[in-house]
Structures are given as structure tokens and as C-alpha cells.
Amino acid sequence: MTLSNCQYGLDGAIVGGFQAMAGFLEVFGYKDPKSPSGWNIETQPQQLIGSCMNVGTIVGVLFAPLWSRYFGRRPAIWLASVLCYISLAIQLAATTIPVLAFGRVMLGVSNAFCE
């Protein structure tokens, strides 16, 4: 939980690295003979993937205080942990941009509940 704030910086670097990998580009990108790897990705999905975690954080910040007020801080932390695991599973299993974006939003919500 303490490292949830570090996850923003680390996540940005990791996701940026994934977007350059051929396996990621084969699923979410398109063939591009001009690219050195032979694959490329549009800028719109790149921006969506990068910003969805921030959108999730905004949504989570709106609901985390209400949850904590009615159920307590400890259940909020448990919910954040469960949401984090679920969101990571969704992102790992995603084969389309909307599913990946949903997983990223859920990750942002879980981070908001940790803070």
C-alpha cells in the first residue's frame, strides 16, 4: 500500500516499455514495414492507455472517502488490494484496447483507495 504512490511513475515507464515490445504491438498495433520492429501503434490508443489510470484515480478519489466513512479504512484498503489484482488480471488477459483501458481505469481506482 505504501508503494501505491510509486506505482504512477513505475507504471508509466513499464507501460511505455510494453508499447515498444513486438508482442504488445502484434496484439494492439498494426504491421508497419517502415518500422524497425515491423510493427507500430496509433497515437490515440497510446494516449488512452497512458491516461486511463489518471481517469480511474479521479473516479476513485470521488468514492474512496464515502466508502471509508461508511465501511472504514481497513475495508477500503482490502478493496483497493482486490481491485488492484483484478485490474492487473484484466490487463494481462486483454486483447482489445477497450478491455485494456478498463483495466487501467480500475488500477487507478485501486490506487485512489490506497491513498
Q: What is the pLDDT of residues 6-62, one digit of tens each?
A: 666 677 667 777 787 888 888 888 898 888 888 888 888 888 888 888 899 899 999
Q: How many CA atoms lie within 13 A of 83 on its CB side?
A: 25
pTM, whole model, 2 decimals?
A: 0.84
The residue ranges of every structural domain in the chain are: 4-114
**Residue owning grid cell 517502415:** 34
C-alpha–C-alpha distance, residues 26 and 56, integer Å? 26
CA distance 43 to 73: 39
Measuring CA to CA, which residue among 66, 60, 44, 62 is closest to residue 7?
60
Q: Which amino acid is at 102?
A: F
Overall average pLDDT of the 84-105 stretch:
92
40 membership: H or E segment, kind and range: strand 39-40
**Which pLDDT value is given to residue 7?**
67
∠ Cα 58 99 85 (to 5°): 65
CB 57 within 8 A of CB 113: no
C-alpha 14, offset from chain centre: 11
